[in-house]
Structure 1
């Protein structure tokens, strides 16, 4: 997708969270107005509110995976657009729309483009970072409904069979514990029981 940030930009990952409070008052960002989908053109807007900021803005990308570093995408100014090496200008582009408004355009959204985008400016020897702009495809709930439709009846059937097996085992144990209470014949020592004394 894009190249990783050079070692000079790696400290941005550490400064990003420390500058969130400043970023809320230094930038105004705009999320995509409509629901995004694959192949769609996505435009991200970033307005710099700092009066002392330099005449330029950098766009960066933060992958959604944990323990990842921000990746430099491009630097926009009034006179030039400097993109990171390896980026295809047909896929991604940027422009300065107003004096302090900067736009990043993803011309054909891909699955690998999901993540967080943000802009950064340098002012009074301090880097300022905008709030993260999330760009994610909607979750496909059709597959989830299909799985639920298949597994819910199957789970219910298994529960009924298990209950039936448990009842059968309990009944079988009760039948084995029954003791015969029939009268036993009384046998005299050294002889057989007489017909009249056969039962007591």
Structure 2
């Protein structure tokens, strides 16, 4: 019984988390040094800026997208300003990141041709992904850096299964809650039926023993 109550408590907490509404903050990426032309080999600093403080306490993931290809993960920086190791267990070599107040900064140490593309910052807050508007960085003679919106193609990217609407989020929450709860109810029903069956068998056995004792007397 205690386990069942604990399970219900856990599922209730999950429901609260799933239904938590995101903050009204908006995110954008900008060049720290303004609109000065990019120079091959120079340092480039980007800033992920929030209009409010609701999302700035969850850490930021930086992404780079080349043209219409899938976005590439650069690094993750925590709300404490620590850069998480990448897959090889080491910090990114060509990039640096830090946090000042509620602004997250990404530095490209030496901007190269392969660093051209659209840069975004992403926040995972209350089990929802929040995408910033991005900025396109290209060397002179190709494109000028300019703000862009998050590409719609990201909605279908396998690495970011973001529900398309609050209704979809509710559906996922309902499945996440009711499937384990229904399974627990089925297990409890099976245990109850097994207990009733065992009790009936024990009672029948006890009656037979009493009848045998009476016959012996």
Structure-1-length-normalised TM-score = 0.51
Aligned to 1:63: 66
Q: CA deviation at 1:39?
A: 0.3
TM-fit CA distance, 1:93: 0.8
Give 1:88 shift: 6.7
CA distance in 1, matches of 2:100, 2:54: 19
Residue range with higher mean Cα deviation, 113-122 or 77-86? 77-86
Structure 2: how far apart are the matches of 1:83 and 1:26?
A: 27
Which is greater in Rg? Answer: 1
Runs (5+) with no aligned partner, structure 2: 1-21, 143-217
Q: Where do 1:145-164 residues align within 5 Å?
A: none
Contact 1:41 1:107 in 2 (8 A): yes
Structure 1 gaps of 5+ residues are: 1-21, 141-200
Does residue 104 of the first structure (1) align with residue 106 of the second (2)?
yes
* RMSD (Å), alpha carbons: 2.5
Larger helix percent: 2
Counterpart in 2 of 1:127? 129
Aligned residues: 115
Q: Distance in 2 between matches of 1:133 and 1:84?
A: 23
Task: Give the structure 1 partner of residue 73 of structure 2.
Answer: 72
- 1:76-99 deviation per Cα after TM superposition (whole angstroms, max 9, x unaligned): 12152114336774421111122x
Are positions 1:26 and 2:26 aligned together?
yes
Distance of 1:128 and 1:92 partners within structure 2 = 22
* Aligned-residue offset at 1:50: 4.6
Please show how residues 36-55 of structure 1 align to structure 2 within 5 Å.
36-53=38-55, 54-55=57-58
Are the aligned partners of 2:39 and 2:139 in contact in 1 as well (CA < 8 Å)? yes
